[in-house]
Each structure stands twice: as structure tokens, then as C-alpha cells.
Structure 1
Amino acid sequence: MAAINPYLVFDGNCEAAFNFYRSVFGGNFYQKTRFNELDDDVNVPYSEGQKIVHISLPIGPDTVLMGSDRPAAEGDGIPGQNFSVSINSDSEDEASWFFKRLSTGGEVALPFLKVCRDTWLGMLTDRFGIHWIISCEEHVAG
């Protein structure tokens, strides 16, 4: 089953913001990944290596606040447009289905594809101007 969560985008101060949110809401980060921790085929300038590519903080039992820093190559963000709706699915098929339907008549920023070891990701703006991030992590039985 899919979960919907807010996804916030910052201009270089994501880690400070999420440390603040953690002080407000409590808890521990599920994940905190920096750009320099990505696979070698992801080309990120050295100066941006310490920026956050993904962070997540649980807020209660059913919501996860997520975020990242915007790469400098994308320019400055526009206040009020620095968030997306994130759909996290349990299956690649379901996530792909959401991506295909939400992107109909919209604009794809990142096609739905495998971005690292076990994570699928796609980003789009739907025909109504809403930004979406669709993701799925494959779970391998161990």
C-alpha cells in the first residue's frame, strides 16, 4: 500500500532545518544521505557533496517528513514552491502505475527509473501544477 508524505526542498540548509524539526517533533532520522554518498555514476560537484540528497523523519505513526537540498545547478527555489507530495509504494509496479497516470498531461522532471541499488524514483509536475515524487524501495528477503 502506498503512503503519502510531504517532501521539502531547501537551498543548502536542509540538515539545519531537519535538526530543528527533530527538536520539535522528536524521534530519529530514518535516513540521511549526502550527495557524496551516492553511486559513482551520479555526477555532483565536490562543493555540494555534504548537502543532503535525502532525509526522512517520522512524525507520528503514519507520516514521514522528508527533504533534500536543491542542487545549485537548478538555481534558487521559489518560496512557496519548495515542496512536493511524495508517494512511497511497496512495489515497483504500483509506483510505476501512479507515475504514468499522474504524468499524463503534465511534465516529467525525472523519468521513473532505478536510481541506486534498490530504489526506484520518478519526479513530475502534474497538469494542475502539483509537484510529485514517486518512489519505491525493493525489499529483498534475507
Structure 2
Amino acid sequence: MATMHPYLNFDGKAEEAFNHYKSVFGGEFTFFARMGDAPESDKLSEAEKNRVMHVALPINEHTILMASDCVPSAGHVLNEGNNMYINLQAESREDADRLFNGLSAGGTIEMPMADMFWGDYFGSFKDRFGIQWMVNFTNRR
């Protein structure tokens, strides 16, 4: 069975975003490298050398959140869109609220945390870095 790890792309904000995500989820980066660490990075501007080539933050024993910054001089263009959400399955209502409040700080709330007609406690938002999240707690009564 394959394991799925969300991979995010940023336009120069990967480090800021992942420091924020680390403050919410805890833990430490298992990998962090800058574009300047790559072969032939001497062709990049100083600003691009400082961009994140790859960062990995374990969320739990099964999931690693990963990302990189795009490199404009290589023709990379980031288009923030609504084609992806990261869905977090919380362990409790309290955990759901903690994740929702921490990650949505400075972002745009799409749907506040609330009990839904299908029986779950759910909310969604776009964080201040343009990443869309869903937080869900499945009530088992």
C-alpha cells in the first residue's frame, strides 16, 4: 500500500509557512535544504539561492508534510488556486479546535468549526500562505 504525503509549493514563503506549521503541529524538520545547496546553484540569484529546495515536517508516524519554493528564473510560476485541500482528521473536538485555530490564524475562514448534518465536527479555511485546509473530527457515539 502506498503512503500519501502532501507536497506544497510556495513562491518564496516555504520557510515562513513551515515554521508556522511546525509551531502548530510540533516536531522538527527531518529535512531542510535551500536552493543554494543544489549543484549549479551559482547560476541563481542570491534571493533564489535562499529559497527552500525541500523541507519535510512529520505530522505523525504516517504523514509527512513537504514543500519547496518555485524558482522564477527557471520559469516556475506559482498560481494559488482552490484545487487542493489538506484534510486533517483530528483525534478529538479539542484537537480539531486547536488545529483549526492555529492554522487559520491570519487566514480566511471558509466554514467555521461546527457540527455538520453528516454527524462530524468540521471546518475549512485558507491559511495566510494560500493553502486550503479542512479539519474534521468524526463523532463516534
State the TM-score, normalizing by the size of structure 1.
0.51
Cα deviations by residue, 1:1-21 (Å, 9 ceiling, x for unpaired):
743211000010100000000
TM-superposed CA distance for 1:38, in Å, is: 1.1
TM-superposed CA distance for 1:76, in Å, is: 3.6
Tell whether the 8 Å contact from 1:10 to 1:82 is kept in structure 2 after alignment. Answer: no
Tell whether the 8 Å contact from 1:14 to 1:52 is kept in structure 2 after alignment. Answer: yes
Cα deviations by residue, 1:23-77 (Å, 9 ceiling, x for unpaired):
0100000000001111247843333111101000000110000000011133541
Match of residue 81 from structure 2: 80
Unaligned runs of 5+ in 2: 85-141
Tell whether the 8 Å contact from 2:48 to 2:71 is kept in structure 1 after alignment. Answer: yes
| Counterpart residue type for residue 77 of structure 1 | L
State the TM-score, normalizing by the size of structure 2.
0.52
The secondary structure found in structure 2 opposite 1:4 is coil
State the number of aligned residues.
83
Unaligned runs of 5+ in 1: 84-142
Tell whether the 8 Å contact from 1:8 to 1:82 is kept in structure 2 after alignment. Answer: no
Distance 2:15 2:79 in 1: 19
Match of residue 9 from structure 2: 9
Q: Which has the higher contact order (CA 8 A, sep 6+)?
A: 1
| Counterpart residue type for residue 79 of structure 2 | I
- Work out which of the two has the higher radius of gyration on C-alpha atoms and give 1 or 2: 2
Match of residue 35 from structure 1: 35
Pair 1:51–1:81, CA change in 2 (3 A): farther
Pair 1:58–1:75, CA change in 2 (3 A): same
Tell whether the 8 Å contact from 2:34 to 2:50 is kept in structure 1 after alignment. Answer: yes
Matches within 5 A, 1:21-32: 21-32=21-32
Tell whether the 8 Å contact from 1:34 to 1:53 is kept in structure 2 after alignment. Answer: yes
| Counterpart residue type for residue 81 of structure 2 | G
C-alpha RMSD of matched pairs (Å) = 2.4
Runs ≥4 residues deviating over 4 A: none
Distance 1:58 1:47 in 2: 27
The secondary structure found in structure 1 opposite 2:6 is strand
Pair 1:52–1:81, CA change in 2 (3 A): farther
1:62 aligns with 2:62: yes
The secondary structure found in structure 2 opposite 1:32 is strand
Match of residue 51 from structure 2: 51
